[in-house]
């Protein structure tokens, strides 16, 4: 089996898949200690390959690699942002500076759409990337996500934000209490941001493109953009393209 890891800013997502891409197990952990505990419940001998997308630093990646080595006696293959992959040309002047999670999502989206697309990943941050019809990555933008906006209010005001309210006020234009007011405000900022990205896309990639979303809050995009696709496994799909498993035969 193949172990896939998406080591993000706030949590580590993983899944165990068969060689035919069937998902056997999956989970999420807040840190490597929790991930280590989760792996103890899996059958170690059946994992023969591990690939990872990580936005963490060298020390944390080394700790992850040591953890996998301890459990399965295999090395982790870490994906990297490169200049060209699967028909997509990286739009950054220094391709290595494009976050690898963004890069993998862009590659997977283009592989799926085979045409112009806008990739909106709503996680800790909201990242948006534009891809032309010929696979040229045109660049993108980064903004605070829902959680970061909530944290900003918690840290810098006397307000205590109820994050659960945000998903329940969609459709409201005004709040009649403080918590609903906060929720409406944050939701409106996210909706307005998404709409603006679609407007920009019409300018830079033309009138024909597909919006595809990912991330924990990616479902919001589908409520704002008609016809938008939502793919929670977009980064994992890109990871499989960047780090394919090659079974050796002797």
Binding region for K(+): 121
d(CA 195, CA 197): 5
Binding region: 6-13, 92, 99-102, 121, 124, 178
Catalytic-role residue among 41, 101, 176, 217: 101
Binding region for substrate: 92, 99-102, 178
Nearest to 184, CA basis, from 234, 208, 214, 149: 149
In the DSSP assignment, the letter for residue 156 is H
Nearest to 104, CA basis, from 230, 236, 246: 236
Note if 101 is an active site residue: yes
What long-range pairs does 185-194 form, CB within 8 A, spacing at least 24? Answer: 186/146, 186/149, 186/150, 189/149, 190/122, 190/126, 190/146, 190/217, 190/220, 191/220, 191/224, 193/126, 193/143, 194/120, 194/220, 194/221, 194/224, 194/225
DSSP lists the bridge partners of residue 89 as 84, 136
User: Which strands make up the sheet holding 117-122, listed edge to edge?
Assistant: 137-144, 125-131, 117-122, 210-214, 229-230
| Residues noted as catalytic | 101
């Amino acid at each position: 089996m193949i172990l896939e890891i998406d080591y993000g800013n706030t949590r580590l997502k993983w899944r165990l898949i068969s060689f035919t891409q069937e998902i056997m197990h999956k989970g999420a952990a807040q840190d490597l200690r929790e991930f280590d505990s989760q792996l103890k419940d899996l059958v170690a001998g059946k994992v023969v390959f591990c690939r990872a997308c990580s936005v963490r630093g060298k020390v944390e990646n080394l700790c992850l690699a040591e953890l996998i080595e301890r459990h399965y006696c295999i090395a982790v293959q870490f994906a990297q942002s490169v200049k060209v992959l699967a028909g997509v040309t990286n739009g950054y002047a220094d391709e290595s500076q494009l976050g690898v999670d963004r890069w993998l999502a862009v590659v997977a989206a283009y592989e799926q759409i085979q045409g112009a697309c806008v990739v909106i990943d709503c996680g800790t941050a909201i990242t948006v990337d534009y891809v032309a019809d010929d696979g040229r990555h045109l660049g993108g933008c980064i903004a605070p996500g829902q959680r970061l906006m909530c944290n900003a209010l918690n840290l810098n005001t006397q307000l205590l934000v109820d994050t659960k309210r945000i998903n329940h006020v969609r459709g409201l234009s005004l709040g009649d209490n403080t918590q609903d007011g906060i929720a409406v405000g944050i939701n409106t900022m996210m909706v307005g941001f998404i709409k603006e990205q679609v407007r920009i896309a019409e300018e830079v990639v033309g009138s024909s493109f597909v919006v595809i979303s990912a991330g924990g809050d990616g479902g919001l995009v589908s409520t704002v953009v008609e016809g938008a696709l939502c793919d929670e496994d977009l980064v994992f799909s890109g990871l499989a393209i960047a780090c394919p498993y090659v079974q050796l035969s002797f």
